[in-house]
Amino acid sequence: MLNINFMLMSVVVPGVIGALIGAVIAVPTVYFTLKLVQKNKSEKDKIQAKSILEEAKQEAKSLKKEAVLEAKEEALRLTSECEQDIKNRRAEIQKAENRISQREEFLDKKEETIEKKNEALEKAKEDLAEKELGLQKKIEEQDKITEKMSAELERISKLSKDEAKKELISKYEDEAKRDAAVLVREIEANAKEEAGKKAKEIVTLAIQKTAVDHTSEVTVSTVALPNDEVKGRIIGREGRNIRALESATGVDLIIDDTPEAVVISSFDPVRREIARLSLEKLILDGRIHPARIEEMVDKVTKDIENTIKEEGEAAVFDAGIHGMHPELVKLLGRLRYRTSYGQNVLKHSLEVSYLAGLMAAEVGANVQIAKRGGLLHDIGKAIDHETEGTHVTIGVDLATKYKESKDVIHCIAAHHGGVEYESLEAILVQTADAISSSRPGARRESLEAYIKRLTQLEEIANGFKGVDTSFAIQAGREIRIIVKPEEVSDEQALFMAKDIAKKIEKEMEYPGQIKVNVIRETRNVDYAK
């Protein structure tokens, strides 16, 4: 065992020592070798660094030169632009100075001209004042001469100035009336001879008399009751039912001693109709209380609105008119519930439309404008209870609002003669309105108003000098006047008829037209014996 260890030691130790000696010898060699390699590499890096540095310097110089050149070019460009801008501004300033200079010269010249005109005006005023003074003196002298001549004439003629003037006026007035009467007769004779050629003008001009509109309206409706006990149910406890119905419909309910009837009063025909239908339906239903009243009024109101729309559309269709604004169509439908002197306004409007269209076709006027103007001529009556103004003014405003043509608007404005006629269609609409409203049976009139109108007619006729007696005939559509032949000549009778007609137009209100017939008759009687 010991020998083996010794042998191992003898082998390992010399090996280790040898390795150490080799390592000692090898380290300096490696060091020096590395040192040499490093030295060579450092020199190469230096050379390469110098080369890079030189290249960088060259590149920097080149970039610097380029930058300097670009800066110089930019500076030159900016300088050039500034110089050009300054040049332009100087040119503009020069132009402005020139304009100001020219304007100053113009103002100076104008000022000189004004001064010259003022001087001339002042001179003219002075001359005019002198002329006025001279003229005033001449007028005063002329007045003195005229006074002397007038005094001399009065002395010679033994008439005062006023007396002479009256005598001259009377003389020339009689002559003028005779000449006018002769001329009128000649014109009428020529017109009769040329009636065939001028039929259109004669027909149109002969019927221009406008009918004055009546405002008498039906303002109440009556609802029949099954018995008088229903009146108490309509009134309700402490009057709550009647108050609810009046509040919901806007009408007045009159419950008096009239047996089995309730009266509904309102100026608005649509509200009155809603109240009437609502009350009738409530009576049939049997349930009358505030909640049921409101429910029934709402239902009837919707039904009436639908009926109004349908009636308006039917009227437009029947008249053959297209393109009318929907609001105007609704307003036409409201006229179904409006009456004038007992005449239904919607039917009257349709009748006027038909008549105006037929006459327009006969005389060669525009049929569509005549029919449209006739249908809309009373459209203002649909809301005249709600809006201030006459139905003509309201109708014009409505037609303008809903873009009707100027010709149709003029037909509405002129159908009662409120404005001058500018078209043949307007005359035809006015004529058709007069025919429709004044035809027999179209309107009803109270006996008191009828008698009053006839009496007023006769009083107007009897108020003229020379009238012997007068008679209103044909239900007041004609007045026959008998004159005294010894006081009224034929020429005076002609002018009397015109004067009486004008006074009737001015003082009376009547439908249609009134014929004034002045009769002058002379009789010579003798007896054969």
Cβ-count burial of 429 within 10 angstroms (0-12 exposed, 13-18 middle, 19+ buried)? buried
453 Cβ contact partners less than 8 Å away, ≥ 6 residues apart: 476, 508, 510
- Is 498 contained in some domain? yes
Q: Residue 481: its pLDDT value, please? A: 92
- The pLDDT of residue 488 is 86
CA 345 to CA 139: how far, in whole Å?
67
Q: Which residues lie across from 223 on neighbouring strands?
A: 262
pLDDT value of residue 450: 67
Residue 1 has a pLDDT of: 45
Domain enclosing residue 478, as ranges: 445-519
Q: Is residue 511 one of the residues assigned to a domain? A: yes
Q: Which positions ≥6 away from 397 have C-beta within 8 Å?
A: 380, 389
Q: Which of 287, 273, 272 is nearest to 234 (CA)?
A: 287
Edge-first strand listing for the sheet containing 261-265: 220-224, 261-265, 252-254
Residue-level length of the chain: 529
Question: What is the C-alpha separation between 207 and 185, in angstroms, rounded?
Answer: 20
Dist. CA 471–CA 515, nearest whole Å: 12
Low-confidence spans in the chain with pLDDT less than 70: 1-41, 157-159, 161, 164-165, 168, 171-172, 174-175, 188-189, 191-220, 341-342, 438-450, 474-475, 511-512
Backbone angles phi, psi at 145, to 5 degrees: -65, -40
**Is the residue at 29 inside a domain?**
no
76 domain-assigned? no
Within-domain flag for 176: yes
pLDDT of 213 reads 39
- The residue out of 168, 193, 218 marking a domain boundary is 193
What is the predicted pLDDT for the residue at 9? 46
pLDDT confidence of residue 93: 92
Give yes or no for a contact between 246 and 253, defined as CB atoms under 8 angstroms apart. yes
Run of H or E residues at 343: strand 343-344
What type of residue sits at position 477?
Answer: R
Task: Give the HSE-up count for residue 17: Cα atoms under 13 Å, Cβ half-sphere.
Answer: 6
Residue 240, domain member (yes or no):
no
User: What dihedral do alpha carbons 195, 201, 203, 205 form, nearest 10°?
Assistant: -120
Task: Write the CB contacts of 424 (distance below 8 Å, at least 6 apart in sequence).
Answer: 204, 360, 363, 365
365 within domain boundaries: no
**Which pLDDT score is estimated for 209?**
32
Rounded CA separation 391/347 (Å): 17
* pLDDT given for residue 433 in this prediction: 84
Question: 35-73: string of b/e by CB count within 10 Å (b at 16+)?
Answer: eeeeeeeeeeeeeeeeeeeeeeeeeeeeeeeeeeeeeee
Q: How many domains does the chain have?
A: 2
Please name which of 291, 268, 295 lies closest in space to residue 281, comparing C-alpha atoms: 295
Is residue 457 assigned to a domain? yes
- Read off the CATH number of the domain in which 457 is found: 3.30.70.1350
Rg (CA), the chain: 57
Distance of alpha carbon 333 from alpha carbon 347, whole angstroms = 11
pLDDT score for 522: 77
Paired tokens of 326:
């929907």
Q: Final residue of a domain: which of 169, 193, 217?
A: 193
Beta strands in 233-327 (DSSP E): 252-254, 261-265
Distance CA 120, CA 115 (A): 9
Cα(419)–Cα(410) distance, integer angstroms: 9
